[in-house]
């Protein structure tokens, strides 16, 4: 039985008539599959149009609506009359009407752990910028560059008094580029827009570290929290992050004859499984061995109160640098490179996925050498 498609009008506010298609008999709804008689076109005409503008609007809108009606009727009754090109164009148009922000969220939900959190943060900024509504058909270079400018100027959600950190903006904008790349692969975008958009440049970050003299000074200085002191020195000797040290259990510590001590663990940040050798000195900081499931640094916590003990300990050792717990990891990397360990080995010991991440420390070494060279001045 042939399906009849009629163009009809429904009165709405503002002396207007909304245009919709009326199907008889009913057809399956494209999303729910339920029988439906109506398809609203998102178009309207004016009632009693008297001025030239409204008359012209009505004429053009009705012509376009009639074209849509004819195409829908042809598609339902004679789908073979559509060429392959026309079918492809219809598919592109349908996908172009879908919500890019919803698609972005679906990609974010597939991520895990810290990477998921980072994607969700990027999604929150995108949703705020777009008010949650952005069609694929409306995405272009102009939009991407406007979003880039927004990230570089907007306030941080963590503090309304500070601008979003540049490296956070870098990360969030890269999530947009990754989504554009995937959308192109999935056929939602007809061009690989990602390749046309310049990323935000990474900002140089200050990485403070301790010299071997400062580290030895800390060894000799008492700390109000001995557990924190042991954990910090352990980080300086192994390069482990606070989160990895906090979660270490005795079952992950292994002694291999003629090879020494090793720690086998999964990194909190990268989720990579590591088999890391540690020195006898690092082992000596661990204390008495307990059950395999017991944490090695039981009771270690991160808080403003504990940071206070850290800063007091640093100050008592006569160190004026701005040192956080993470700086002990920086210290490990810097001292290893200073003492001739090759950058590839240091990169593996730090658990970096890419060598370029470790190269930041090589720049620090070069800067330190330059400052050392400039210390000798003759009266020439």
Q: Are 147 and 129 in contact (CB under 8 A)?
A: yes
> Domain of 19?
4-81
Same domain (yes/no): 326, 177: no
Q: Are 18 and 12 in contact (CB under 8 A)?
A: yes
Same domain (yes/no): 181, 251: no
β-pairing, 4-12 vs 253-256, is unpaired
Same domain (yes/no): 316, 259: yes
Give bridge partners of residue 82 from the DSSP assignment.
none
3-state secondary structure of 227: helix
Give bridge partners of residue 23 from the DSSP assignment.
5
**Cα–Cα dist 285/288, whole Å:** 9
Same domain (yes/no): 55, 180: no
What is the CB neighbour count within 10 angstroms for residue 310? 20
Which CATH number goes with the domain that contains 274?
1.10.443.10
Same domain (yes/no): 336, 236: yes
3-state secondary structure of 30: coil
171 Rama class: left (phi>0) / alpha (psi -120 to 50) / beta: alpha
| pTM flag (> 0.85) | no
Same domain (yes/no): 275, 310: yes
Q: Which residues contact 285 (CB under 8 A, 6 or more apart)?
A: 230, 233, 234, 237
Domain C-terminal end among 128, 162, 196: 196
Tokens of 192: 């690989």
The pLDDT of residue 79: 60
Domain contains 86:
no
Domain C-terminal end among 164, 196, 228: 196
**Cα–Cα dist 201/137, whole Å:** 28
For tokens 């800067």, the residue is 367
Same domain (yes/no): 128, 184: yes
Domain contains 252:
yes
Counting Cβ atoms within 10 Å, is residue 123 exposed (0-12), middle (13-18) or buried (19+)?
buried
Domain contains 343:
yes
Same domain (yes/no): 50, 123: no
Domain contains 92:
no
Q: Are 100 and 193 in contact (CB under 8 A)?
A: no
Domain contains 206:
no
**Cα–Cα dist 108/170, whole Å:** 17
Domain contains 204:
no
Q: What is the pLDDT along the chain (380 residues), one digit of tens a residue?
A: 688 999 999 999 988 999 999 999 998 887 777 889 999 998 999 998 888 888 888 998 999 999 999 888 888 887 655 555 555 655 666 777 888 999 999 999 988 766 888 899 999 999 999 998 898 888 999 999 999 999 999 988 777 778 888 888 999 999 999 999 999 998 888 889 999 999 988 766 667 888 899 999 999 999 999 999 999 999 999 888 898 899 899 998 888 888 888 888 665 555 556 678 889 999 999 989 999 999 999 999 877 777 889 999 999 999 998 888 988 988 888 888 888 888 888 788 887 777 776 677 777 666 666 666 666 667 66
Q: Are 135 and 189 in contact (CB under 8 A)?
A: no
Domain contains 288:
yes
Q: Which residues contact 171 (CB under 8 A, 6 or more apart)?
A: 118, 122
Overall number of domains in the chain: 3
Same domain (yes/no): 326, 246: yes
Same domain (yes/no): 222, 369: yes
Phi, psi of 38 (to 5 degrees): -125, 150
Same domain (yes/no): 175, 219: no
Domain C-terminal end among 161, 196, 231: 196
Same domain (yes/no): 188, 258: no
DSSP state of 205: P
First to last CA, the chain: 103
């Amino acid at each position: 039985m042939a399906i009849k498609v009629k163009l009809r009008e429904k009165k709405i506010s503002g002396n207007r008539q909304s245009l919709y298609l009326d199907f008889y008999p009913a057809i399956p709804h494209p999303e729910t599959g339920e029988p439906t008689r109506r398809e609203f076109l998102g178009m309207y005409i004016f009632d009693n149009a008297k001025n030239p503008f409204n008359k012209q609007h009505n004429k053009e809108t009705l012509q376009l609506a009639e074209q849509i009606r004819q195409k829908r009727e042809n598609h339902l009754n004679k789908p073979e009359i559509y060429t392959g090109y026309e079918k492809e164009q219809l598919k592109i148009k349908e996908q172009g009407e879908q919500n890019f922000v919803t698609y972005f969220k679906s990609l974010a939900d597939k991520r895990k752990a810290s990477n998921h959190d980072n994607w969700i943060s990027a999604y929150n900024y995108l949703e705020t910028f777009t008010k949650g509504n952005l069609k694929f058909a409306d995405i272009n270079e102009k939009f991407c560059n406007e979003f880039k400018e927004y990230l570089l100027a907007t306030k941080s959600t963590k503090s309304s008094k500070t601008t979003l950190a540049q490296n956070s903006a870098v990360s969030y904008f890269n999530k947009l580029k990754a989504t554009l790349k995937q959308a192109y692969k999935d056929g939602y975008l007809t061009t690989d827009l990602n390749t046309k958009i310049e990323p935000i440049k990474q900002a140089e970050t200050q990485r403070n570290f301790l010299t071997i003299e400062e580290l030895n000074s800390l060894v000799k200085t008492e700390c109000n929290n001995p557990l924190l002191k042991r954990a910090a020195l352990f980080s300086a000797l192994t390069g482990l992050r606070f989160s990895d040290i906090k979660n270490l259990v005795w079952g992950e510590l292994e002694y291999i004859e003629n090879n020494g001590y090793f720690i086998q663990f999964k990194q909190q940040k990268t989720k990579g499984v590591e088999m890391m050798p540690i020195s006898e000195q690092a082992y000596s900081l661990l204390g008495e061995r307990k059950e395999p499931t017991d944490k090695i640094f039981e009771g270690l916590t991160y808080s403003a109160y504990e940071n206070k003990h850290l800063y007091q300990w640093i100050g008592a050792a006569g160190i004026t640098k701005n040192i956080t717990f993470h700086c002990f990891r920086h210290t490990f990397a810097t001292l290893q490179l200073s003492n001739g360990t090759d950058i590839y080995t240091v990169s593996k010991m730090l658990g970096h996925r890419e060598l370029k991440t470790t190269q930041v420390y090589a720049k620090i070494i070069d800067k330190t050498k330059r400052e050392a060279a400039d210390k000798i001045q003759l009266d020439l």
